[in-house]
Amino acid sequence: EIVLTQSPGTLSLSPGERATLSCRASQSVSSSYLAWYQQKPGQAPRLLIYGASSRATGIPDRFSGSGSGTDFTLTISRLEPEDFAVYYCHQYGSSPRTFGQGTKVEIK
């Protein structure tokens, strides 16, 4: 099983600032099958990034993903008020599919 470790656990930032979220895998993620989701309280997760760096339909270009192998990053270039949420990475390249434990981006 591929274990995904996200850091930091909580990121305290102000609107307009840049957010950098990390996801490290315990072994190489096959073909960069790594996705990022955003989840707000009381809502289902929303797909942001797939294939490590491709934005899902309708996702603003302030969200970007990068990385390969075991190290992946989600960057939010300038935080908007609606971006404060919990973010999860997810690998879907091998079974069992696994998620990171989440990074909470909160308003400073």
Choosing from 64, 75, 77, 98, the residue that interacts with other proteins (CB under 8 A) is 98
59 binds other proteins (CB under 8 A): no
Binding to other proteins by residue 64, rule CB under 8 A? no
User: Is residue 22 close enough to count as binding other proteins by CB under 8 A?
Assistant: no
Candidates 27, 24, 26, 30; CA nearest to 6 is: 24
| 17 or 104: CB nearest other proteins | 104
In whole angstroms, what is the distance from residue 77 CA to residue 31 CA?
25
4 closest CA partner among 38, 28, 40: 28
Residue found by looking up tokens 């309280």 in the block? 41
Residues in touch with other proteins (CB under 8 A)? 33, 35, 37, 39, 44-47, 50, 56-57, 88, 90, 92, 95-102
